[in-house]
A = this chain, B = another copy of it.
């Protein structure tokens, strides 16, 4: 706040409120009109404003003592926010906001009710302030990632022959839920649909030799997410399929090698892209990975325009994906690394071979 001369910060997104308040009120995502806000002032004091329905749960999650509530439909949450800002003496100064998350309708109300205030978008600063994890967060991210990998590896060994896409994805998710993960997203597809970005499982049978891929995530205690991808086949891999996985793995290794404190985030992107070219793989990715935490795509995004210096404590996924149009197959693999003084520590072991579903 000091460097931007802000009197306060108001955040509205699930990720930002959860990060700073320690809460996980998931209706911030599933019920977008049920707004929740965190006000942080320059003196360190914080205030939460949530729908009265969520308050008893919120109080079990947050250390913030000043929790205000609005009654849904009887009160407009943003008008209540403006009223509280006035009550806190926050009129006429500068207030930082997550303008890429705050609804335009809320901004209209804030500008109307606080005409002398300046609302300053600080989305990038908010994202960057969450990029370096403390050891406890890194440990949780590692546990979440390892659980998500184990759920795949342990489950597919036990599948009977003839499993459909839906059988496989359901069994993997069951295993993850049993280890404490709450379902977040599940990409699972075989054959030609592996070329799509986020295909979902259907009751399609998967014949021997067909390629499949999974990209999935879950939310664990404290709101920490996993996000992991693997590619496999049914029965046994052809030499061509295995060769493509080896080439993809080389691009991921190149990305991990570029992760060092002080280097710009874009170096990881270019390292992966250049290795795609060396391996003869078609490169179509706008980014090759991202930070992980309460959000699914946290900063720094590993994209070609990102000069953000990598720092010790950041936790990053590297996730190359190759679309092999001649065979109508999409290959994807994704693992997590924490940046250390000397480079990076992998939190999940990258895949050595295509995974095998019995068939």
Contact = CB atoms under 8 A, between A and B. Distances in A.
A296 interface: yes
What range describes how many residues of A lie at the interface?
A: 35 or more
A52 interface: yes
B107 A53 contact: no
Given A103-B99, A177-B173, A198 B27 contact: yes
Interface in A282-303: 286-287, 296-297, 301, 303
Interface stretch (A30-38, A134-142, A232-240, A250-258): A30-38
Interface stretch (A181-189, A241-249, A271-279, A343-351): A181-189
Contacts of A25: 198
A199 B13 CA distance: 20
Interface stretch (A66-74, A86-94, A310-318): A66-74
A97 B108 CA distance: 13
Given A25-B198, A56-B196, A185-B26, A303 B103 contact: no
A204 interface: no
A107 B100 CA distance: 10
A229 to B, nearest CB: 14
A126 to B, nearest CB: 12
A158 interface: no
Contacts of A60: 196
B56 A286 contact: no
Contacts of A32: 13, 100-101
Contacts of A121: 104-105, 108
A96 to B, nearest CB: 13
A304 interface: yes
A73 B180 contact: no
Residue from A104, A108, A121 with most neighbouring chain B CB atoms (10 Å): A104
A58 B185 CA distance: 17
A305 interface: yes
Given A71-B286, A170-B178, A197-B53, A123 B102 contact: no
A30 B184 contact: yes
Given A54-B197, A180-B203, A196-B57, A72 B287 contact: yes
A195 B56 CA distance: 8
Interface in A15-64: 25-27, 29-34, 51-54, 56-57, 60
Interface string A138-172: 00000000000000000000000000001101110
Contacts of A6: none
Contact of A286 (B13, B52, B101, B183): B52
Given A73-B303, A304-B73, A177 B170 contact: yes
A174 interface: yes
B180 A183 contact: no
A286 B77 CA distance: 13
Contact of A104 (B54, B102, B169): B102
Residue from A106, A123, A182 with most neighbouring chain B CB atoms (10 Å): A182
12 contacts: A25-B198, A26-B198, A57-B199, A73-B306, A74-B286, A99-B103, A100-B103, A100-B105, A107-B107, A108-B121, A173-B173, A182-B186
Interface of A: 13, 25-27, 29-34, 51-54, 56-57, 60, 71-74, 97, 99-108, 121, 123, 166-167, 169-171, 173-174, 177-178, 180, 182-186, 195-200, 203, 286-287, 296-297, 301, 303-306
